[in-house]
Chain A
Amino acid sequence: MHFKHIKLIAIGLITGFINGLFGSGGGMIIVPALVFLIGIKEHKAHATAISIILPLSIISTFFYLKADIIEFNIAFYVALGGIVGSFIGAKLLNKIPAPLLRKIFGSIIIYTAIRMILK
């Protein structure tokens, strides 16, 4: 076992924990980790992240399912929109320069976070 393997195990642990605790955010941990700690190219890190977070999300979903808090009728309509949207997004990933998009996105979620903290 090399130091790199220990890093990978630690990345997995933290990613899984955040993704289970907040039902999201795994990608926010694992993408920078893969890029800066492991040295994978950014657009490959995004795609690789999905392959790792999928099994983690299935595990976490099972726990939320057992606690009986999933509103399936709401999930259905959100999923419908989400499937269409994700197809568009994945097609755009290799074609659109993301920096501007990230700044806009960052600003919106800072505003949203402050609203959620104050509300």
Chain B
Amino acid sequence: MKLFIIGLLSGIISGMGIGGGSVLIPSLVLIASLNQHQAQSINLIVFIPISIIALIVHIKEKNIVFKYTKWIVPSGIMGAILGSMIALKIDAYNLKKYFAIFLLFVGIYELIKKR
């Protein structure tokens, strides 16, 4: 039930495009006691079905601009391979600290952002 509710809240946030991972990963680490790698891997794999559903809704509502995809996705894939390989080489404790620093910047950005 706890895991379902963590998923539900993150899903609402990510469906709105605010970044479900920044809710899901800390929740899994702080409440469900997973290590950083496990939490990150769950965010990634759970994002797949969730984003497919969100994508269908957005395609119906014509919210997606497809013309930039072919320029972004190939280099994105190279970045994803590099980032994943590095993540798996870092120990969980340090990765958690790096993640938290990234999260801090994300939070500050959301607060100072206009509109």
| Chain A residues in the interface with B (C-beta under 8 A) | 5, 8-25, 27-28, 30-32, 34, 38, 40, 42-61, 63-65, 67, 69-71, 74-75, 77-94, 96, 98-99, 101-103, 105-110, 112-117, 119
Q: Which DSSP category, helix, strand, loop or mixed, fits chain A's interface? A: helix
Contacts beyond the supplied A10-B75, A12-B73: 5 A-B pairs with Cβ under 8 Å = A50-B17, A60-B83, A71-B41, A81-B4, A98-B18
Q: Is the CB of B76 within 8 A of A56?
A: yes
Q: What's the nearest-Cβ distance from chain B to residue A40, in Å?
A: 6
Interface size on B (CB < 8 Å)? Answer: 92
Contacts A23-B44, A52-B72; A112 near B87 (Cβ below 8 A): no
Q: Is the CB of A91 within 8 A of B57?
A: yes
Q: Is the CB of A102 within 8 A of B113?
A: yes
Interface string of B73-115 (1 = CB under 8 A from A): 1111111111111111000000011111111101111110101
Q: What's the nearest-Cβ distance from chain A to residue B102, in Å?
A: 6
In the bound complex, how far is the Cα of B6 from the Cα of A75, in angstroms?
11
Q: Is the CB of B24 within 8 A of A109?
A: no
Could you give 22 example pairs across A and B, Cβ below 8 Å? A9-B71, A12-B72, A15-B76, A20-B81, A22-B99, A23-B40, A24-B24, A24-B44, A47-B17, A52-B69, A54-B55, A56-B73, A64-B37, A64-B44, A71-B42, A81-B11, A82-B10, A85-B50, A89-B54, A93-B15, A113-B106, A114-B104
In the bound complex, how far is the Cα of B20 from the Cα of A89, in angstroms?
10
Q: Which DSSP category, helix, strand, loop or mixed, fits chain B's interface? A: helix
In the bound complex, how far is the Cα of B34 from the Cα of A65, in angstroms?
16
In the bound complex, how far is the Cα of B76 from the Cα of A17, in angstroms?
7
- Tally the A-B contacts, defined by beta carbons under 8 Å: 373
Q: Which residues of B contact A11 (CB under 8 A)?
A: 72
Q: What's the nearest-Cβ distance from chain B to residue A80, in Å?
A: 6
Q: What's the nearest-Cβ distance from chain A to residue B62, in Å?
A: 9
Q: Is the CB of B6 within 8 A of A78?
A: yes
For A5, A24, A28, A64, the residue with the greatest tally of chain B CB atoms inside 10 Å of its CB is A24
Contacts A51-B66, A77-B3, A86-B50; A98 near B16 (Cβ below 8 A): yes
